[in-house]
C-alpha cells in the first residue's frame, strides 16, 4: 500500500514525486514508457517563459509566474543546465507595436518583473541577425532556456534518491475503488503489471489526462493534441542567435520562434496543428515548410544546410483553456492534472507544490523526512569542463579520456555513469537525453556501434535486446550468418 501513486513520469509527475519525497511517505512513480520524460517533456520548446502572455487571473498566469521564479534554485539543487538569457517578442510590422504594448500591460498585470519595450534600433544592435525590418520588441529579462528532459530526469532521480519507487514500462489501465468498486474512493490503480494500492493517486498523464479522468467516472474534460514541428540546427547557427526570439503571438500559439538551446544549438518552431491521434508524432512536409518560413521571417540569414534534425511534439491542450488541477469530490483519493500545455514546463515546479498543498488540505499528513537529501548531482559533462577538471577526471578513471561521441565530445565514462545512474539509461534515446551521444551533427552515425557495445556490456544484456526507446524499437535484427528469428 502506497501513500501516493503518481501516474506519469514526465516533468510534472517527476517534480510531484520529488516534492512528495521530502515527507515520510511511501510514493510510487509509474509510467508506461521505457524512460521518464518520453511524452510531451521530450518534445517542446524548452523555454522558461517570463509570463507576459498568459491571461491574468488564470492558473496558467499564477503558476507561470511562480514557477519561473523557482527555476534558479531548482536547477541549482538538481544540477540541471538553465540559462536566464532573456527573451524578445519581435514586432516586424507597424501593427505589431500595439500587440507589444498589450503584452507589456498583460505582463505587468501578471506581476512579471523585468519587462521593457525596446525600439527597432536597439533590437538590431542587441541581436544583429534579427530581421532588419524589426520595429521594436518586448524584452523579458526573466525568460530562459532549460534542458527539459534533463530537468525531468534529475527530478525523478532526486525523488528516487529520497526513497520514491519508480516503475517504468507499466501501463495504468484503470482505478481500484472502495465499496462497490465503481463509485467509492479511489484506492490505487490497475496496471499491466497488476494492481497497486494507494491512499492517493495523482494523475500527471499529459495527453492521456482526459482518458484517465473518464476512467475514474469524471466529467467531460477533453484533451486535444496539438502538434508542433521543429528543426534543430548545428551549433554553427548559434553564432547568429543569441537568445529567444518570439514573433508576435497568434490566437492559438506563441508562434514560430527561433531560440538558442541550452546545449548550444538553435531550434526553430513550433507550428500548431490539431490532430486526432495522441501518438501522431510524424513531421509533415507542409508543417516543416511553415516552420522554416516563420523562422526565416525572424532571422533571414538562417541556413537550411545547418539542419541536423527535425521532430514533432504534441501539446496537451485542455478543453477549459486553463490548467486543471483538481481533487474531484466524486472520486475521493484522486488528484487529476490536465491541460498542462505551455507554459507547463515553466509552471511545473509550482504545479508540484500546488499538488502537495492540495493533498495536505485533503488530509494527507506531511511529516518532513529527517534524512532528506536536498541536492542531486548529475553526470559531469566532459566537454563543458576546463582542461584541469578534465585531467582530474581522467586521472581518476581513464574512461574519461576515451571519447565515444565525436560531435558532442561524450566520453565512455559518461555513458557508463548513465547506465548505472539512479534511473539507468536502458535505451539509446535515454542515453542520448542524459549524456547527448548522437545528439550532434552526425546524429549517431559514428557512435552507434560503439554505444551499443558499451551499453550491452554495462547493462549485462545481449546487444540484440537493445532498443531505441523500448517496445518494438529494436536496433539490431540478428547476427550475421544467422537466420532471422
Partner 1 sequence: MTSLDCDVLVIGGGPAGLAAAYQARQSGAGCVRVIERNWELGGILPQCIHNGFGLRVLGADLTGPEYASAWVRRALEAGVEPLTDTMVLSVAPGPRVVATSATRGLFEVRARALVLAMGCRERPRGALAIPGTRPAGVYTAGTAQRLVNIEGYMPGERYVILGSGDIGMIMARRLTLEGARVEAMVEILPFISGLRRNLVQCIRDFDIPLHLCTTVSEVRGRDRVESVVVSQVDATWRPMVGTEREIPCDTLLLSVGLIPENELSRMAGLTLDPVTGGPRVDDRMATSMPGIYAAGNVVHVYDLVDDVTESALRAGRYAAEYARDGQTWADGWLPLQAGRNVRHIVPQVLSPTALAKEPCRLELRVREPIEAPAMVEVYAGEGLLASRRLRYARPSEMITLDLSPSAAGALNGADALTVSVTPREDGAAPEESA
Residues that bind partner 1 (CB under 8 A): 231-232, 236, 279, 281-285, 287-288, 305, 307-311, 387, 390-391, 394-395, 398-399, 401-403, 406-407, 409, 412, 428, 441-446, 448-449, 452-453, 463-464, 467-481, 483-484
Provide, rounded to whole angstroms, the least separation between the CB of residue 28 and partner 1. 26
Please report how close the Cβ of residue 469 comes to partner 1 at its closest, in angstroms: 8
Which CB atom, from 188 or from 438, has the smaller least distance to partner 1? 438
Sign of CA dihedral 475, 478, 480, 484: negative
* Cβ(407)–Cβ(383) below 8 Å: no
Strands 194-203, 334-338: pairing is parallel
Widest Cα–Cα separation across the chain: 69
Spatial separation of the C-alpha atoms in residues 31 and 18, rounded to whole Å: 15
| Cα→Cα distances 359→286, 328, 363, Å | 45, 12, 6
Minimum CB distance to partner 1, residue 223 (Å): 19
Cβ distance to partner 1 smaller for residue 24 or 309: 309
Contact between residue 162 and residue 102 where contact means Cβ atoms under 8 Å apart: no
The region, left, alpha or beta by phi > 0 then psi within -120 to 50, assigned to residue 263 is alpha
Task: Kindly tell me which of 188 and 470 has the beta carbon lying closer to partner 1.
Answer: 470
How many Å is the Cα radius of gyration of the chain? Answer: 23
The answer to whether 37 and 61 have CB atoms below 8 angstroms apart is: no
**Alpha carbon distances (Å) from 263 to 140, 238, 333, 433:** 21, 10, 41, 11
49 part of the active site: yes
Phi, psi (deg, nearest 5) at residue 442: -95, -5
- Cα(59)–Cα(430) distance, rounded to whole angstroms? 32
Question: Which residues, 6 or more positions from 224, have their beta carbon under 8 angstroms from its beta carbon?
Answer: 274, 317, 319
The least distance separating partner 1 from the CB of residue 227, rounded to whole angstroms, comes to: 12
Catalytic residue among 49, 214, 329, 420: 49
Cβ closest to partner 1, residue 96 vs residue 229:
229
Q: Name which of 107 and 470 has its Cβ closer to partner 1.
A: 470
d(CA 222, CA 293): 32
Q: Which is nearer to partner 1, 181 or 471 (CB)?
A: 471
10: nearest Cα among 46, 38, 48 = 38
Closest approach of Cβ 267 to partner 1, in Å? 12
- Residues 324 and 340: their CA atoms lie apart, in Å, by 8
- The residues facing 411 across adjacent strands are 403
Report the residue number, 380 or 401, with the smaller CB distance to partner 1.
401
For residue 174, the minimal CB distance to partner 1 (Å) is: 24
Q: Which is nearer to partner 1, 42 or 187 (CB)?
A: 42
∠ CA 92-96-98, rounded to 5°: 155
The nearest distance, CB 323 to partner 1, in angstroms, is 29
Partners of 201 in beta bridges: 5, 334
Pick between residue 173 and residue 304 the one whose CB is nearest to partner 1: 304
Angle between helices 448-459 and 428-435 (to 10 degrees): 100
Rounded least distance, CB 389 to partner 1, Å: 10
Q: What letters, b where the CB count within 10 A reaches 16 and e where it falls short, cover 403-438?
A: ebbebbbbbbbbbbbbbebebbbbbbbbbbbbbbbb
Cβ 191 to partner 1, closest distance in Å? 21
CB 185 within 8 A of CB 177: yes
Residues involved in catalysis: 49
Amino acid at each position: 500500500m502506497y501513500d501516493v501513486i503518481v501516474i506519469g513520469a514526465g516533468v510534472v509527475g517527476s517534480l510531484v514525486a520529488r516534492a512528495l519525497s521530502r515527507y515520510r511517505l511511501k510514493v510510487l512513480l509509474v509510467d508506461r514508457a521505457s524512460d521518464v520524460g518520453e511524452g510531451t517533456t521530450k518534445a517542446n520548446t524548452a523555454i522558461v517563459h517570463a509570463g507576459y502572455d498568459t491571461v491574468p487571473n488564470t492558473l496558467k498566469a499564477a503558476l507561470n509566474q511562480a514557477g519561473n521564479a523557482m527555476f534558479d534554485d531548482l536547477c541549482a539543487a538538481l544540477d540541471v543546465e538553465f540559462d536566464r538569457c532573456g527573451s524578445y517578442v519581435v514586432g516586424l510590422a507597424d501593427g505589431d507595436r500595439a500587440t507589444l504594448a498589450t503584452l507589456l500591460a498583460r505582463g505587468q498585470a501578471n506581476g512579471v518583473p523585468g519587462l521593457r519595450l525596446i525600439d527597432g534600433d536597439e533590437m538590431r544592435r542587441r541581436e544583429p541577425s534579427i530581421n532588419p525590418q524589426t520595429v521594436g520588441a518586448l524584452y523579458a529579462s526573466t525568460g530562459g532556456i532549460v534542458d527539459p528532459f534533463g530537468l525531468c530526469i534529475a527530478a525523478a532521480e532526486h525523488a528516487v534518491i529520497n526513497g520514491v519507487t519508480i516503475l517504468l514500462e507499466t501501463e495504468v489501465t484503470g482505478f481500484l475503488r472502495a465499496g462497490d468498486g465503481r463509485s467509492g474512493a479511489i484506492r490505487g490503480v490497475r496496471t499491466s503489471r497488476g494492481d497497486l494500492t494507494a491512499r492517493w493517486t495523482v494523475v500527471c498523464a499529459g495527453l492521456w489526462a482526459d482518458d484517465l479522468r473518464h476512467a475514474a467516472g469524471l466529467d467531460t474534460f477533453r484533451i486535444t493534441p496539438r502538434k508542433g514541428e521543429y528543426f534543430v540546427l548545428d551549433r554553427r547557427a548559434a553564432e547568429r542567435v543569441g537568445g529567444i526570439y518570439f514573433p508576435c503571438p497568434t490566437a492559438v500559439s506563441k508562434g514560430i520562434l527561433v531560440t538558442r538551446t541550452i546545449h548550444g544549438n538553435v531550434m526553430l518552431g513550433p507550428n500548431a496543428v490539431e490532430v486526432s491521434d495522441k501518438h501522431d508524432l510524424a513531421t509533415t512536409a507542409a508543417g516543416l515548410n511553415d516552420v522554416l518560413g516563420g523562422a526565416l521571417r525572424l532571422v533571414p540569414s538562417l541556413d537550411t544546410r545547418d539542419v541536423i534534425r527535425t521532430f514533432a511534439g504534441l501539446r496537451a491542450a485542455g478543453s477549459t483553456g486553463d490548467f486543471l488541477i483538481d481533487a474531484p469530490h466524486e472520486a475521493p483519493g484522486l488528484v487529476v492534472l490536465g491541460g498542462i500545455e505551455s507554459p507547463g514546463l515553466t509552471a511545473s515546479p509550482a504545479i508540484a507544490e500546488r499538488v502537495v498543498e492540495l493533498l495536505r488540505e485533503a488530509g494527507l499528513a506531511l511529516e518532513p523526512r529527517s534524512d532528506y537529501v536536498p541536492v542531486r548531482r548529475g553526470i559531469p559533462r566532459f566537454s563543458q569542463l576546463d582542461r584541469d577538471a578534465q585531467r582530474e577526471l581522467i586521472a581518476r578513471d581513464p574512461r574519461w579520456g576515451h571519447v565515444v561521441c565525436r560531435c558532442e565530445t561524450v566520453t565512455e565514462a559518461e555513458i557508463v555513469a548513465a547506465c548505472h545512474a539512479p534511473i539507468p539509461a536502458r535505451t539509446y534515446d535515454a542515453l542520448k537525453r542524459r549524456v547527448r551521444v548522437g545528439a550532434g551533427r552526425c546524429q549517431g552515425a559514428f557512435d552507434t556501434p560503439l554505444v551499443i557495445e558499451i551499453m550491452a556490456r554495462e547493462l549485462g544484456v545481449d546487444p540484440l535486446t537493445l532498443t531505441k526507446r523500448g517496445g518494438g524499437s529494436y536496433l539490431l535484427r540478428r547476427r550475421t550468418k544467422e537466420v532471422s528469428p
